[in-house]
Chain A
């Protein structure tokens, strides 16, 4: 009997996996089909116009071999489109966490996500994986982000100066107000381990009779944990991958964080991110009341 149940259970899991694969396949096909339909519709509408009028405009384009100007225009229009997307959202998070719960992360896709977040108007972006791979490859992450910035936002991306912070540099960064979007690379050490370090610090102060145990309060611990991060709590965490867990991401800071999942970060599109942000916009926080 137990064998029979075991068999049915395995069958059930297979069915769920097939269902998931089908759903994601359909979603991809639908998106590309809709995309092509849209392109064809636009082409059908604009073609007669292009043939009939605006011959000068056509000539201008043909006679302008400066590729940079064209890409520059494209980048500028992308930038303004993304900025207006951000403004049209009901609410925009100040700090977004990108939690990658997949093996072998793709730096290009993560860099894309970071650049899109900044372009939409998000001030703080943190990137996390539970193996600490991003942390170990901090410089490579920075390179990718800068590269994608230039690709997607054009050469004039100076507005979006990226600061990639890691724990070691924090002590040297002192700025009171930062309007520049900031990227932080996190690993499991920034989670429970930093709470333990703060606890050790407080206990050492008690050991040295500088403090009493009764003085320790939530706000005191909060200040200590914020000192080494200098970031507001993430309002939104976008989780990539099939694992339904926070995998040790900043336990103290996620008390009111909304969690939205995207199946994978590989070949993720801007629309995926925008969808997640729109979903976030519709969340209502009652804060206990």
Chain B
């Protein structure tokens, strides 16, 4: 089945969509698509069939999001913990993924028409090489599209993602691109797999479980969490509307909390910069305490240098990540 569904909403759905759009709408929604296996048990079908139905529901949900002007969607497709499942099930899921990415490459014209950019987030080296190559091709093919964004978390857990971000910053320090004192919350966010996306506004988990299961723990600290009891393959447009309504009810208070957090972050950064400048002036000063003007100039200069350093480091990181994908692609071409 296809990644893109072209059907329109019916009249009632259109009206409801327009009513919802009168209020604040989430720009980025994350889904934990839970319940495929329970659905399969319920309908007396094979597990694999349950996962297939789950994928179809994903395509349908993307269509609804498009109609609701939700530009970015992130989904939890396969966790690193899922490798613990039986070999049969894991192999089945890898096969399903391969088929789906092949289909995606088939539909590249359609994806271009709709401007869909597909990104895959996770520790991709854990996957079989042929799947990695397909993923690389899919990512590179849709890279320049910018109307809507689909992030698929595959071989992903949040703790691995955060650890990887710390490792990348340590790599930057090793290469002399940044200093340890440059490490901040903002920089860590830029080093996550999801650095090209804003934080999700809304996180939806289906099938009634009320936990995050190691998904986007850093990014969803100030997101609206909605837990719905419907199984993923049975998800409907109205379930999505219900979740968005929850988001709208929480909008003001979450926005307030976000702003408070950002203010605090900015304050911490300023304090850190001041501390570094004070230390620098102490070491390189002429023994006399610096006046306020000199301190201010030094602070400005330090902040500018720090920001330049960080930009260069992020460029280098981006280049490293892009090369990973292009190397995989060229390997396939040579093979």
Contact = CB atoms under 8 A, between A and B. Distances in A.
A191 B245 CA distance: 28
B182 to A, nearest CB: 8
A243 to B, nearest CB: 5
B188 interface: yes
Contact of B22 (A9, A217, A258): A9
B162 A283 contact: no
A178 interface: no
Nearest to B217: A251
Contact of A203 (B170, B221, B260): B170
A140 interface: no
B82 interface: yes
A142 interface: no
Interface string A100-130: 0100000000000000000000000000001
A141 to B, nearest CB: 21
A13 B24 CA distance: 12
B257 A206 contact: no
Interface in A175-195: 188, 191-193, 195
A12 B21 CA distance: 12
Contact of A255 (B181, B209, B212, B226): B212
B220 A221 contact: no
A257 B22 contact: no
A259 B225 contact: yes
Interface string A242-271: 111111110110111111100000000000
B110 interface: no
A289 interface: yes
Given A16-B245, A188-B261, A216 B163 contact: yes
A122 B285 CA distance: 56
B173 A245 contact: no
Nearest to B189: A192
Interface stretch (A66-74, A150-158, A207-215): A207-215
A259 to B, nearest CB: 5
B230 to A, nearest CB: 17
A251 B79 contact: no
Interface in B114-129: none
A289 B23 CA distance: 39
Contacts of B19: 5, 8-9, 12
Contact of B268 (A193, A255, A256): A193
A196 B188 contact: yes
B188 A195 contact: yes
A255 B218 contact: no
Nearest to A2: B22
Interface stretch (B55-63, B67-75, B246-254): B246-254
The range of chain B's interface size is: 35 or more
Interface string B157-174: 111101101111111011
B173 A207 contact: yes
B217 A188 contact: no
Nearest to A222: B159
A287 B84 CA distance: 9
B245 A221 contact: no
A288 interface: yes
Interface in A1-34: 2, 5-6, 8-10, 12-13, 16
A204 interface: yes
B221 A287 contact: no
B143 interface: no
B168 to A, nearest CB: 8
A47 interface: no
A199 interface: yes
A131 interface: yes
B227 interface: yes
B20 interface: yes
B270 interface: no
B184 interface: yes
Interface string B220-237: 111111110000000000
A247 B159 contact: no
A104 B81 CA distance: 40
Given A191-B221, A200-B180, A216 B213 contact: no
Nearest to B254: A245
A202 interface: yes
Nearest to B168: A213
25 contacts: A8-B22, A12-B19, A101-B253, A130-B260, A192-B185, A192-B188, A198-B166, A202-B166, A203-B170, A207-B173, A218-B159, A242-B253, A243-B254, A244-B226, A244-B250, A245-B222, A245-B223, A245-B224, A246-B221, A247-B222, A251-B218, A257-B211, A259-B225, A287-B81, A289-B84
Interface of A: 2, 5-6, 8-10, 12-13, 16, 101, 130-131, 188, 191-193, 195-196, 198-200, 202-204, 206-207, 211-214, 216-218, 220-222, 242-249, 251-252, 254-260, 283, 285, 287-289
